[in-house]
A and B are shown apart, each in its own frame.
Chain A
Amino acid sequence: MPLLVLQRLVSTIPVLLVVAVVVFLMLRVSGDPAAIIAGDTATSAQIEAVRQAFGFDRPIWEQFLAWIGQVLQGDLGESLFTGLPVTTLIAQRIEPTLMLALTTIVFSVLVAVPLGVLAAWRSGTWIDRAVMVFAVLGFSVPVFVLGYGFMYVFSIELRLLPVQGYTSPFEDFGAFAQGIILPTLTLSCIYVALIARITRASVLETLNEDYIRTARAKGQVERTVLFRHALRNAAVPIVTVIGLGVALLIGGVVVTESVFNIPGLGRLVVDAITRRDYPIIQGLILFFALIYVVLNLMIDLAYTMLDPRIRY
C-alpha cells in the first residue's frame, strides 16, 4: 500500500506540471502581461517599469523556471490590488469553504446512500418513485433559486435561522451550526439527487447477483444482505460519484457563497476575476488542481480498499 501511494504520487507530477505550464502561459497569451498588470490607464513608462520589475523582459523559459522555483517554495506571488501574498489570502479564505464542503458532503452521503439503497430494495414501489421524483427535482432546481427559497422560508418567514454570514466553529460552534444549515441544504440538494440515483442503480444491479442469493441461502437478515453484501459491491460507482461531487463542489461553492455571503474561496475567485487580479487567479487554479489530483488519488485508493480485485 505505501508503495502504491508513492507510485501514484509520483505519477501526479506530470499532471501538475502541465497545469503549471498552462497557468504560467495564461498571463502571457492574453496580451502583454506588463500592460495588463500596469492597468488600463498606465503610461508606456509605467508599463516598462512593470516589465523590469516582474522580469518580463527575460527569455520565457527563464521566467518560467524562476516562477516555478517560487511556486515550489510556496510563493504564489502577491495580489495586484492589496499587495498581500496569495498564499495568505487562500489561507484566510479556506476555512469557510472547507467547512461548507465538508458539511455538504457528509450530509449528502448520509442522506443519499440510505435513500438510494431503500429505493433499490423497494424498487417499483411508491418509495422508489418518491425518491426518484425527488432526485429529478434536486437536479433541476438551480442553486440560487433553492438558496433564496430556503432563506425566504426559514430565515425571513419562520425566523429560525440567520439570513447570511459565516461564523467560525472554533469561535462559536452554535452560531456556526446555525449559519451553515441553509448553505449546506442548498448545496446538498443536487448531490443528494446525484448520489441517491447512482446508489439506487448500482445497488439494484448487485441485488440481482448470485452472491446475494447465497447470502439469503445462509439465512442472513435482509438489512445485512443490503448493507454488507450489496452496498459494498455497489460502492465503486458510488465512491466515484462522491469524489467527482467533491471536485465539482468548488463550482457550486462559488454561487452558494455569493448567495449566503460567506467569505470563502468561491468569493475570492469571483472577486479576483472581476478585478483581473492575475496572481490570485493563477494561485487558485494551481491550488484547485492540486486538490483535484489529491482527490483522484484518494478515490483510486478507496477503490483498492473496497474491491480487492482492483490493483494498479
Chain B
Amino acid sequence: MTTSEGNGPVLSIRDLAVALPAGADRRYAVEGVSFDVGPGEIVCVVGESGSGKSVTAFSVMGLLAKGELAAERGEILLEGEDVLKASPERLRDLRGTRMAMIFQEPATALNPVMTIGDQIDEVLQIHTTLSPAERREKVIAIMEAMHLPDPQALYDRYPHQLSGGQRQRVMIAAAMVLDPVILIADEPTTALDVTTQAQILQLIKEMQERRRTGVLFITHDFGVVAEIADKVVVMRHGAIVEQGPAAEIFANPKVDYTRMLIASVPSLEPPSREPAMGPVAVETHDLVKGYGGKSWLGRATQPAFLAAKDVNLVVRRGETLGIVGESGSGKSTVARCIVRLVDPTSGAIEIAGTDIAGLSTRALRPYRRRVQMVFQDPYRSLNPRRTVGASVMEGAMNFGLSHEDALARAQRLMGLVGLSPDALDRYPHQFSGGQRQRIAIARALAMEPDVLIADEAVSALDVSVQKQVLELLDQVKREFDLALLFITHDLRVAAQICDRIAVMRRGEVVEEGPTRELFLNPRHEYTRTLLAAAPGRHLGHAVAAE
C-alpha cells in the first residue's frame, strides 16, 4: 500500500471504531476502518451521506464533536504517532503543521470578518516564531503558489469579495502554508461550479505532485474519484466495503454497492429524445433583469448590472428545458423572474398567452398557481416547525381547496413521490435530503401547476440519490404533462433529463438546442469548456464498454 519509493505511509488508520451516542440507530459511526495514505498519494474515501467518511476524516484531525462522538478503538498513526493518544496540546501542534484540512463550503469555512491574508497568516502566527514581515512574505508566496490573482491586493480583501473558487484556493493556501504531510479534503468541490471544480482538483493534484503531500479526499461522487484518485476506499454504513487502486476499482468493482455508485454518476451521453410537440406553456421575450443603479436618495436610474439580458426561451408542455450555467450566469434570475419572485426590468413573460411580467400582485395571483418551484436546499426550503402535511397542503388550500380534498390530494402525492402517506404527520428533520426533495416536489405538484421549475434541485444530493430524484422529476413531468424548467450548473445532470438545453453565461443565452445535438456538436466555445470540465466524463464510456 505504500508508494513506489518505498516510504512508509504518512497516515495509517488501523481498526478505527468511533462510537455514536446512546440511542442512535447504530452503535458505531465507523467500525473496523483501516487504510493507509502514502506520501504523494491521493486516497479517495467514497460513500453516501451517513457512510462514516466524514467521521473518519474528523477523527484524524481530532475534531469530532465533543461529547457526541469519541474514538473507542484502533489507532490513527500520523507519521507513526498515534493521534488518538495525543494530548489536546499535541493535537493543536500537529494541526496546521503536519496535517491540515479543507472543507466543503469555502464560503462558510472562512471567517467573514477577517481578511484573507490574516486568515492564512493565522496558521503562521500559531505555529511559528517568524517576524510579521517574514510571515507576510510567506503568505504572499503561498497565495501565488495557489494561483490566486494579485496576492498583494487580495491579502487585505474579505472572503465575500472573492469568488467561490478563489475562496477554496485561500482555504488550500492556509492548509498548505506549513507544508503538512497530509491534506484532508472533505468534499472540497461539491459546492463549486464544474469548471471551478476542475481547476481546484487540478490544484490539489499539483500540491500532491510538487510537495509530495498525501491527500485524503472525501467525496460522494465517483466522477470526481475518476479524476484524481490513486486509491479508492468505498464506505457504507460505517464500514469499508471495498478498497484498492483506483484503476482496479473502476475496471472491476467487487461489490454491488460500488457498482451502483459508479453507475449513478450521470454520463455525458444523453439518450435520444423525441421533440416535444405540446402547446407552449411559458415563453419569455427579451427578458431583462438589472440590479443596482439606485441613486443616493433611492431613485432608480440605469441599472448598474444586468443579471439577465434579452433572454428568449420557450417551454412546451411535456418538455424539459435545461438552463445550464455557472454561478452568476443569470440562470436562477431567469427562473425567479418567471415565478415573479423578482420583478423583471423589461421584456415579457407569457404564461398561457398572458404577459405576466408587469401584472400587479393582485392580478398575478391566479397565475401563481400555474408556475411552481423546487429549490436547491431541501434542508432550508421546508419550514422546520410545520408538519410535512401542512407544508404540502397550504398552497392548494390558499387557492380554495377544502381541507379534506387537500389532504386526499397530499396523500395521493406522497404515494406518487415514493413516500408513505403517514409522512404527512411528521416534520422535515425526520427525513433525509433526498426524501425532503421528494416532499418539496409533492408540495409543488399539490398546486397542480402547468410549469415546474427545478432550481438546482438535485445539486445538494448524493449522486445515488440524485439519480432517483431525477427519475422522479422525469416521471411527474410525463404524468402531469408539465413544462419542466430544469436549472443546473452540471451538464452531466442536464444530459439525463433535458429535451433541450440553453447554456447561459453572464446573463445571456449563448447557445440553445436539443440536448443530444448540443452535446455532440457544441457550437459555442463556452459550452465546450463546460463539457470538458465535467468530472468523470470518461467514466460513462468505460462502464458502457464493459
Collect the chain A residues with CB atoms within 8 Å of residue B171's CB.
214
Collect the chain B residues with CB atoms within 8 Å of residue A220's CB.
92, 122, 126
Instruction: Output the least CB separation between B298 and chain A (Å).
Output: 11
Collect the chain B residues with CB atoms within 8 Å of residue A213's CB.
63, 103, 109
Taking a contact as CB atoms under 8 Å apart, the answer to whether A233 and B63 are in contact is no
Instruction: Output the least CB separation between B451 and chain A (Å).
Output: 35
Which residues B49-89 have CB closer than 8 A to chain A?
A: 61, 63
Which residues A186-233 have CB closer than 8 A to chain B?
A: 209-211, 213-221, 229, 232-233
Collect the chain B residues with CB atoms within 8 Å of residue A307's CB.
112-113
Q: How many Å lie between the Cα of A214 and that of B103 in the bound state?
A: 8
Q: Known: A214-B111, A309-B158. Is A219-B105 also a contact (CB below 8 A)?
A: no
Collect the chain A residues with CB atoms within 8 Å of residue B103's CB.
210, 213-214
For A218, give its contact among B158, B160, B174 (CB under 8 Å). B174
Collect the chain B residues with CB atoms within 8 Å of residue A306's CB.
113
The yes or no answer to A308 lying at the interface (CB within 8 A) is yes
Which residues B10-65 have CB closer than 8 A to chain A?
A: 61, 63
Instruction: Output the least CB separation between B183 and chain A (Å).
Output: 11
Collect the chain A residues with CB atoms within 8 Å of residue B94's CB.
219
Q: How many Å lie between the Cα of A229 and that of B118 in the bound state?
A: 12
Q: How many Å lie between the Cα of A219 and that of B178 in the bound state?
A: 12
Residue of A nearest to B161 (CB): A308
Collect the chain B residues with CB atoms within 8 Å of residue A309's CB.
112-113, 158, 160
For B113, give its contact among A7, A218, A308 (CB under 8 Å). A308
Taking a contact as CB atoms under 8 Å apart, the answer to whether B108 and A217 are in contact is no
For B105, give its contact among A210, A216, A229, A232 (CB under 8 Å). A210
Residue of B nearest to A211 (CB): B111
The yes or no answer to B282 lying at the interface (CB within 8 A) is no
For B109, give its contact among A211, A221, A232 (CB under 8 Å). A211
Taking a contact as CB atoms under 8 Å apart, the answer to whether B63 and A216 are in contact is yes
Q: How many Å lie between the Cα of A111 and that of B36 in the bound state?
A: 50
Residue of A nearest to B123 (CB): A218
Taking a contact as CB atoms under 8 Å apart, the answer to whether B160 and A219 are in contact is no
Instruction: Output the least CB separation between A73 and chain B (Å).
Output: 29
Q: Known: A211-B109, A218-B123. Is A308-B160 also a contact (CB below 8 A)?
A: yes
Q: How many Å lie between the Cα of A250 and that of B111 in the bound state?
A: 37
Which residues B98-112 have CB closer than 8 A to chain A?
A: 100-101, 103, 105, 108-112
Q: How many Å lie between the Cα of A63 and that of B61 in the bound state?
A: 75
Taking a contact as CB atoms under 8 Å apart, the answer to whether A219 and B111 are in contact is no
The yes or no answer to B466 lying at the interface (CB within 8 A) is no
Instruction: Output the least CB separation between A2 and chain B (Å).
Output: 16
Q: Known: A219-B127, A220-B122. Is A211-B110 also a contact (CB below 8 A)?
A: yes
Collect the chain B residues with CB atoms within 8 Å of residue A7's CB.
296
Q: How many Å lie between the Cα of A220 and that of B109 in the bound state?
A: 15
Q: Known: A219-B127, A220-B122, A308-B160. Is A214-B93 also a contact (CB below 8 A)?
A: no
For A221, give its contact among B63, B92, B101, B174 (CB under 8 Å). B92
Instruction: Output the least CB separation between A305 and chain B (Å).
Output: 10
- Give 9 closest A-B pairs by Cβ, nearest first: A219-B95, A210-B108, A219-B96, A211-B111, A219-B92, A308-B158, A210-B109, A218-B96, A217-B101
Known: A211-B111, A220-B126. 17 other contacts (CB 8 A): A209-B108, A213-B63, A213-B103, A214-B171, A214-B174, A215-B111, A217-B61, A217-B95, A217-B100, A218-B96, A219-B92, A219-B94, A219-B123, A221-B126, A232-B113, A309-B112, A309-B113
